[in-house]
Amino acid sequence: MTLKNIDLMDLFVKPIITEKATRTSEYGQVTFNVSIDTTKKEVKQAIERLFKVKVKKVNTIRVKGKRKKFKGFKGKRKDVKKAIVTLHEGDSIDVSTGL
């Protein structure tokens, strides 16, 4: 399966910048929110092409949206999929600067 450069950015929703994600960056891991239907292979190919790094492995997690109330109205947050990307030694991605 091959991906076009235009489609690569559509896979990623946003990088996750939290305390936990920052701590895992010490071990060469970067966390992204990706679209729900994205596969591990697509994430690996996109990261390697966009950031010019070597990916060791990709773990994905599907997080169900919480049920919430807002001013008496019931609602549900969107389901999201997280991709935790482990990079080879010496490679790094600085998500704060962008592409």
pLDDT at 9: 75
pLDDT at 99: 56
Q: Let me know: does 45 contact 78? Beta carbons within 8 Å.
A: no
Confidence grade of residue 10 (pLDDT, cut at 50, 70, 90):
confident
Can you say how many angstroms the Cα of residue 63 is from the centroid of all Cα atoms in its chain?
A: 13
Quick one: average pLDDT of 17-33?
A: 90
Residue 96 belongs to some domain of the structure: no
Instruction: Tally the domains of the chain.
Output: 1
Residue 70 belongs to some domain of the structure: yes
The tens digit of pLDDT for each residue in 46-64 reads 899 888 999 999 999 999 9
Interior CA angle at 30 toward 64 and 58, to 5°?
Answer: 70
**Which residue range is the domain that position 60 belongs to?**
5-87
CATH of the domain at 16: 3.30.70.330
pLDDT at 82: 94
Indicate the residue type of 59. Answer: N
Q: What is the mean pLDDT of the chain?
A: 87
Residue 20 belongs to some domain of the structure: yes
Residue 55 belongs to some domain of the structure: yes
